[in-house]
Amino acid sequence: MNQPKRLLVVDDEESIRNTLHDLLVAMGYEVETASDGFEALAKLQLDIDLVLTDAQMPGMDGFELIERIREGKSLQELPVIMVTGRTSRDDRIHAVRSGANDFIAKPIDLTEMRVRTDSLLGMKEIHDTLKRHERELEETVKRRTEALKKALDDVVVSQRNLREAHLETILRLVHATEYKDVGTAEHIRRMSYFCALLAEKAGLPPKDIEVLLHASPMHDIGKIGIPVEILNKPGKLTDEEWEIMKTHTTIGARILRNSSSEMLCAGEVIALTHHEKWDGTGYPHGIAGEDIHIYGRICSIADAFDALTSERSYKPAFSNEESLNLLQEGRKTHFDPHLVEIFAENMDEVENIQKKFKDEGRN
């Protein structure tokens, strides 16, 4: 009796994973599922014969997953099909260049999926002829697979825990500045979610959205190097004090520089550019327009809006309408005009974020 082929379905949406799982099982396949790229890479150890992966996933998208699969010599011949609603010519070219063998568009045509999977599995059968003759008895394979599943589950948990620990370390680094600055943890959360919202509505890739969410809280990390009497001064800063205050951008960049962490590298960019202005009159380097990194342009708007709507020692809290008017007045001078318009078009979601992360005592 031939061992059924084992397929791996990778998709971050549980409903899609379950649907594909049931369809493929009905076709006679054994099916493993993974909710992200990390779990998928781990489960490739389970003698997978073919991978069906979504394109858009947080953390590691389908294109990166395929590239990681192709890095290993033992997986060069593993068939990979990209299953996605993105059907443009550029997306297809990107998928092929990443190493995909085929491309199935959503909604899935069952006949097309069967033909394409059967064809690729037939090609793989040629490469696996010798391996198939060396397979152990079915019961032995089952016991080995179950034992390996348990070990791999531990690996997946470890990978996720490592990522969570990395993000927690970033947050603790950010919270260190709160001992000097009067800003609240809610400010940090609001502006980071504003950044993610604006990035999403501006059409940035899911990976950039996630990076902005976790890296934007580091925008003012350099304030840890600013004297507290300047940080919390209730009145207007003197020219000399203002020059010292402006150095928090370069201090923050130096703290985060030369890291191997993608999040910390993004934090360095944000710390250095979130006070640059569209017309080139910002600091520390006076760069202008699209020469300012998109992360900095997005963070500038999110940070300014939350600062305007929050009470500070030197000013009252402005209403959302007043604050949005001030942002729009700053179009083409302080802020990227296109991003300001996008922000203004999504005020309902902005207000939902405000409600979710409301300051204590704030109306």
Give Cα 301 to chain centroid, integer Å.
Answer: 20
SS3 105: strand
CA–CA distance, 35 with 42 (Å, rounded to integer): 12
Which of 5, 43, 223, 277 is catalytic? The answer is 223
CA–CA distance, 183 with 26 (Å, rounded to integer): 56
CB 11 within 8 A of CB 39: no
SS3 81: strand
Contacts for 147-156: CB closer than 8 Å, 24+ residues apart? 148/45, 148/46, 149/46, 152/42, 152/43, 152/45, 152/46, 155/42, 156/38, 156/39, 156/42
Query: Edge-to-edge strand order for the sheet containing 30-34?
Result: 30-34, 6-10, 50-53, 80-84, 102-105
Q: What's the number of CA atoms in the CB half-sphere (13 Å) around residue 300?
A: 28
Count of Cβ atoms closer than 10 Å to residue 151 Cβ: 10
CA–CA distance, 303 with 203 (Å, rounded to integer): 20
**Does 355 participate in catalysis according to the annotation?**
no
Instruction: Enumerate the active-site residues.
Output: 223
